[in-house]
Structure 1
Amino acid sequence: MKEICIVEFTSNLGLKEPKPGKEPGVNRLPDWLWKNNLHKALKVDNIIRLDPPKYSSVKDPETKILNADSLVTYAREQAYLINNLISANKFPFILGGDCSILLGTAIALKQKGNYGLFYLDGHTDFMDISLSETGGAGGMATSIVTGNGHEKLTNILNLSPYIKEENLWCVGNREYDEEYENEIRNSAAVYISLNELRKKGISNCIQSFLSDVENKKLDGFWLHIDVDVLNDSIMPCVDSRTPDGLTYDEFNNLTALLFQSEKLSGLEITILDPDLDETGQYTKDFVNNLSSTFNLFKK
């Protein structure tokens, strides 16, 4: 078993301000998860933190994306760190942050080989800037890492695409908007909405994904977990709330199947906003479910 290393990416660069003059609170998520005993539950001593450049609410004139230049700077630093961990045969357990932290990860994976991405999220985040109302890279993360969009973000270090489109699986979306869903339907990525996941069955979907990883002889795969994939009643502390979502039984079943795979190279957790969970109860439940499932298979 690889040694687990907790990596804290305290970034909110990919989100818009919840209200004028107030930064998104997801940059405090690593500290919040520590306070709610995730680090202790995982029994991990190796912890690295990388803070991002300063947040700005001004869109980059060239790309129309918030914090574009800062995202590039940060992604390069993230990639260097993750690349070193993977080279040392460590398992990066990344705590975000918003979904834009995926950029650094994806660059590192491209530097190491040919990887798959299992993107477990209540949204696909596969969207062109023309559809974005906010200009936040978090809502376009999968699109960017598969080489779609402005070169400033999609071709850092001349590595575009960081993840091949056909090696991306977007699973759990429940934003059932025709125009939004068509973006990913018209791509080479595999798209499994929440409805489709339940119809096909979690076990069948994961088996298909793991077979795909094996058949393509990929070097491994990365797991992205946006907590807004969970049911709104058990995880309301997110920036973009939507009815329905996975129950903890469904979530634990799905993640357990992925955690068992030797091809899993690392994972990241995003979007839980401490500002929206005053008592910490939702976070505690999440920590208990995630850590107990993870510990079963990765210890």
Structure 2
Amino acid sequence: MAELELIGVPFDGYGRPGNLARASSAMRAAGFIAAFEMHRVTDSGDLDLPEPDADRAPGSGLTNEGALIAMTDALNERVSRAIRGGHFPVVYGADCSTLLGSVTALRDTVGNSGLLFIDGHEDTMPLDVSEDGEAANAEIGLLLGLTGRFAPESLKTRLPAIEPDALAMLGPRDKDWRRQFNVGSLRDRGIWQQSVEEIAADPSEAARQAVAHLRATAENWWLHVDLDVLNPDEFKSQGVPGVEDEPGGLTWQQLTDLAVTAAGMDGCRGWSVAIYDPDQDLNRKDAARIVRFAREIGSALA
């Protein structure tokens, strides 16, 4: 039985008052907390964040910059406290920019750490070419220290947070989108990566290989799942309303096999799940499916 601390994040990278900012509350209403009933659970509720701002900040160009900085600071403190207390933090809601708080917290508390990143995108967009200022398109580049020249100083002080050899990426399928902005693949930089096609044949083996890679350089690592790694036909409440999602992606069963195998392996010190938009899930069918997925993850945790 693990000691879990659940941390909701009511943040939307576009500065919208709803959408991803409502994900954590919608997931709780669907039974997300109860999905971990086999463990001792501390429900920390949602972080207290400033009102959203849909404008892009001067200098960084980030959208909703004030709430992003507040979220990073608060999440870093909350996750650090959980880890120091011997708890396993579960961060839910919002988008992939939560990693700016959680991964830096793991590094701050235990030292050199890794990241197992399951996502449909590589998230390395430089801030100076970002079309929308959304931090969730840029956080991996920031965490690696590859980008960030225009980042606000309060973020720069936390970065970089991971070494290239301490990152494993599973599931990206955004090659065509990145090509529009002349952004290359991290695979070309030697980052360990497997595509959707490589994972599909044996997701559990892909997870084992990814964790083996991480633990060669980092004893402790964070597991992150962006639900847009799923095929949109399987999970419709992803992406931006009115913008077509990239085709392809994993099935729920493939993602479950992948993430459950990883969560049960040595060194996993926290889990985050992001990119669920309840405004696109009026009957809450997708929320219920996330809860089933969370229950499977919970069953794998020691």
TM-score with structure 2 setting the length:
0.88
Which residue identity is paired with 2:161?
A: Y
Corresponding residue of 2:130: 132
Shifted more, 233-242 versus 108-117: the winner is 233-242
1:24 shift after superposition: 4.7
1:246–1:96: structure 2 CA closer, same or farther, 3 Å change rule? same
**For 2:114 and 2:230, how far apart are their aligned partners in 1?**
22
What do you get for the CA RMSD once the two structures are aligned?
A: 2.2
Corresponding residue of 2:209: 208
User: Aligned to 1:182, what secondary structure does the other structure show?
Assistant: coil
Gaps of 5+ in 2: none
Gaps of 5+ in 1: none
Shifted more, 147-156 versus 239-248: the winner is 147-156
Identify the match of residue 98 of structure 1 among 80, 95, 104. 95
Corresponding residue of 2:50: 53
Corresponding residue of 1:109: 106
User: Aligned to 2:235, what secondary structure does the other structure show?
Assistant: coil
- Kept after mapping to 1: 8 A contact 2:62/2:134: yes
Identify the match of residue 21 of structure 2 among 11, 23, 27. 27
**For 1:251 and 1:277, how far apart are their aligned partners in 2?**
20
**For 1:188 and 1:6, how far apart are their aligned partners in 2?**
34
Identity between Structure 1 and Structure 2 (%): 23
Give per-residue Cα distances to partners, 1:68-108, cap 9 Å, x unaligned. Answer: 34322331221111111101110001112121111111221
- Kept after mapping to 2: 8 A contact 1:8/1:95: yes
**For 1:132 and 1:282, how far apart are their aligned partners in 2?**
29
Give per-residue Cα distances to partners, 1:115-150, cap 9 Å, x unaligned. Answer: 111111111112212442111101111111212223
What count of residue pairs does the alignment treat as equivalent? 290
- Kept after mapping to 2: 8 A contact 1:127/1:183: no
1:86 matched to 2:83? The reply is: yes
1:145–1:155: structure 2 CA closer, same or farther, 3 Å change rule? farther
User: Aligned to 1:83, what secondary structure does the other structure show?
Assistant: helix
User: Aligned to 2:200, what secondary structure does the other structure show?
Assistant: helix
Corresponding residue of 2:238: 238
Give per-residue Cα distances to partners, 1:149-176, cap 9 Å, x unaligned. Answer: 2364587373321122221222111123
**For 2:69 and 2:249, how far apart are their aligned partners in 1?**
32
Shifted more, 117-126 versus 150-159: the winner is 150-159
